[in-house]
Structure 1
């Protein structure tokens, strides 16, 4: 296989509170608002990676509730698995990767996040029980 054809797999957890709001984190490196998550380590299973990434970026322990979408960044070859989660412990804590947090409504998600990242959160906030499958260029969705 050509190394340029390789993909990486990331996970993200959209934490939903009792009021139906989602937690967004503001990244330190670029200031973008996103759901917490990151790249799976090679020997790491999906759930373990999800729990690790969310806790590293937020200080919260979560329980995955449902897979809500699969997203591919066509320019970078990153496949993201996004899960709706509920917090079960811990405390919000700023980290080396995260400088701020916000509990947001769907309208606030649209105002804060780029389309490619907002849609992940919006899909997780919806009551649809079928995971979305979407592709994007890093900023905007791309039609299939």
Structure 2
């Protein structure tokens, strides 16, 4: 297998509250604000991985409502699947991976997160039936940005 041509797949859950705000987590390793998520393990299915990653980073149990976007980090070969989610159980708990939480509006998302990560949350906050398909360089969006 040619490692140079392999990809990893990550998942993220954008949790929306009753006021239309999204939950952002602040990462311990770099201080960035993002939706909770991470890389799928090789032997787990997408939904199991999504639920596991969100629980590990927030203490919340979630149920995915809709796939809201597919994003590729062109520099690192990471494909991210982002889902709008609702909380079914649990309570916010700081973890080894997260040091803070904030419920934010769309404007606050733009102010806190880099473009490549803010767009994932903003896409999930929209009530659009079609998932976005986008690519980025790890910080900024690049190329044509589509809804399919």
- TM-score clears 0.5: yes
- Structure 1 residue 89 and structure 2 residue 89: aligned? yes
In structure 2, how many angstroms separate the alpha carbons of the residues matched to 1:62 and 1:18? 15
2:18 alignment partner, SS class? coil
TM-score by length of 2: 0.96
Aligned-residue CA RMSD (Å): 0.5
> Number of aligned pairs?
144
Provide the residue aligned with 2:127 in structure 1.
Answer: 127
The unaligned stretches of length 5 or more in structure 2 are none
1:143 shift after superposition: 1.1
2:79 alignment partner, SS class? strand
Alignment of 1:8-87 (within 5 A): 8-87=8-87
The unaligned stretches of length 5 or more in structure 1 are none
2:38 alignment partner, SS class? strand
In structure 2, how many angstroms separate the alpha carbons of the residues matched to 1:88 and 1:43? 25
TM-score by length of 1: 0.99
**After TM superposition, what 4+ stretches of structure 1 lie above 6 angstroms from structure 2?**
none
In structure 1, how many angstroms separate the alpha carbons of the residues matched to 2:53 and 2:115? 22
In structure 2, how many angstroms separate the alpha carbons of the residues matched to 1:124 and 1:59? 21
In structure 2, how many angstroms separate the alpha carbons of the residues matched to 1:3 and 1:72? 17
